Amino acid sequence: MATQLLNAKRGNITDEMEFVADIEEIDVRILRENIAQGTSVILKNNTRTITNPTGIGEGLKIKIAASVGTTTKKATLDKELDKVRVIEQAGADVLFDFSTGNLIDETRQAILSSTKLPLGVNPLLQIAINQNKNKRGIFELSKDEVLSTIEKICMDGVDFLALDCASTKAMFEQLKMQKRKSGIVTQSGLILADFIHHTQKENPIYEYFDEILEIIKPYDMTLLISNTFKTGCMADSGDKISVIEAVMQGEMADKARKYGIQVMIENIGHIKPNEIENEIKLIKKLTKNAPLYTKTMTAENTIGFDNINSAISSAIAGMYGANMINCTPTYENASCMTSTQAKESIVCAKISANCADLANNNIKAKRLNSESIKAMNEKDWQKQIKNSVDNSSSDTIKEQYKLPDYFSTKENSEILKNFIEE
């Protein structure tokens, strides 16, 4: 079975392309060409039946990514499934499962069964957990363990894999020489650093990359090339290792595309607002305009309001080319969010994405905004709420502000006339 990328290159329009084009209000032929060029992707494992194919990339609305996952201490499966429901209702587009609990396979399968949102997983987390459960430790990691874990995740129906395939042993050595202020801030990066330090072996995700591509291709899974060395403070943004990793991400993206696999890039962490434009232009150039996922922050001293901080920086990133942004909780480093916090972070991200979509003249965003202006002028509160970035609390809004169901244009004109006459 041909992948979305191979079909697009052959001039074929798939059912998934038709679905996404209809949702995004874009010509399906333009979408097909963008997929062929690698500037857009469609997230969907071809074995997953209950799902909504989701497009990310050029000419499409900016997507919102949210994280869920059980841990050994705090988050339970029931709580995470409730959070999944809230996240989907609040309007997120993509889910990441960062589970580190004991029943990691069962958790992933339960999440996939409870939502139509595309799901992504970083297999390094499960690989490390499996090693600990088997009392072997990450230092005794075998090639078979890496490949079999990835294949199990693919078979479960996960739509995209986040792989730390653009970081090498030499790059970890480079990081030591740099003496970064924030060091390594990603879970997968810390796992790899520990493995490389104790074994002096190569990053297994990089070393076995060709075999991994062979595994994921039959499922038509999208590859998200992870940002192993994401910056955790603005002082480190744009440093030497960041540039080296972006170059490597471009090389690995080229290799994956040759296999017929769709590719996204994860990059940009903490960064000064005035540096975002140039950073994105560089990454886009090095990766041939692959869809870009960012988790940006523009200050380190906004604890309690990190969702607003992230929304501001994400709006700037979206305006300059980011195609998917992260919804950040009020405290960025929280190990798990409540359902309420998840909804708040998604609404902040949706406002951010909407601002960037309007700046980029996205067709659908412009139409919805025009309809909101019309509804505002007609004092049609129901339509205003319907077209809002968060319309899930319409009854609460109407009750809080005591809004009428409808205020006609004629009635509005009478009020204006009386106001002028007075």
* DSSP states along 210-231: HHHHHHHGGGTPEEEE--TT--
- Based on DSSP, count helices (H) and strands (E) in the chain, helices before strands: 19, 10
**pLDDT in the model for residue 408:** 45
Is-contact 195 189, C-beta < 8 A? no
Count of domains in the chain?
Answer: 2
Regarding whether 387 and 282 lie in a shared domain, the answer is no
Regarding whether 410 and 301 lie in a shared domain, the answer is no
Regarding whether 382 and 348 lie in a shared domain, the answer is no
Compare 76 and 370 and report the one with higher pLDDT. Answer: 370
> pLDDT tens for residues 248-288?
999 999 999 999 999 999 999 999 999 999 999 999 999 99
> pLDDT tens for residues 367-395?
988 988 888 888 787 788 777 877 665 55
Angle at 233 between CA 227 and CA 238, to 5 degrees: 60
> pLDDT tens for residues 83-137?
999 999 999 999 999 988 878 999 999 999 999 999 999 999 999 988 877 777 7
Regarding whether 80 and 166 lie in a shared domain, the answer is yes
Residue 143 burial class via C-beta count within 10 angstroms: exposed 0-12, middle 13-18, buried 19 and up: exposed
Is pTM beyond 0.85? Reply is yes
Regarding whether 377 and 293 lie in a shared domain, the answer is no
CA distances from 388 to 277, 297, 409 (A): 28, 25, 21
CA dihedral 181, 184, 186, 187 (to 10 degrees): -140
Q: Look at residue 407 and tell me whether its pLDDT is greater than 90.
A: no
* Integer Cα distance of 210 and 227 in angstroms: 19
Compare 377 and 30 and report the one with higher pLDDT. Answer: 30
Domain extent at residue 384: 365-421
Regarding whether 313 and 399 lie in a shared domain, the answer is no
417 — pLDDT class (breaks 50, 70, 90): low
What are the φ/ψ torsions at residue 306 (nearest 5 degrees)?
A: -65, -25
Regarding whether 276 and 185 lie in a shared domain, the answer is yes
Last residue of a domain, one of 360, 389, 413: 360
- The mean predicted confidence, pLDDT, of the chain is 90
* Integer Cα distance of 231 and 268 in angstroms: 7
Regarding whether 65 and 106 lie in a shared domain, the answer is yes
> pLDDT tens for residues 188-247?
999 999 999 999 999 999 999 999 999 999 999 999 999 999 999 999 999 999 999 999
**pLDDT in the model for residue 376:** 83
Regarding whether 100 and 129 lie in a shared domain, the answer is yes
Closest Cα partner for 160 from 219, 208, 101?
219
Closest Cα partner for 318 from 10, 8, 64?
64
Structure tokens at 154: 């693919």
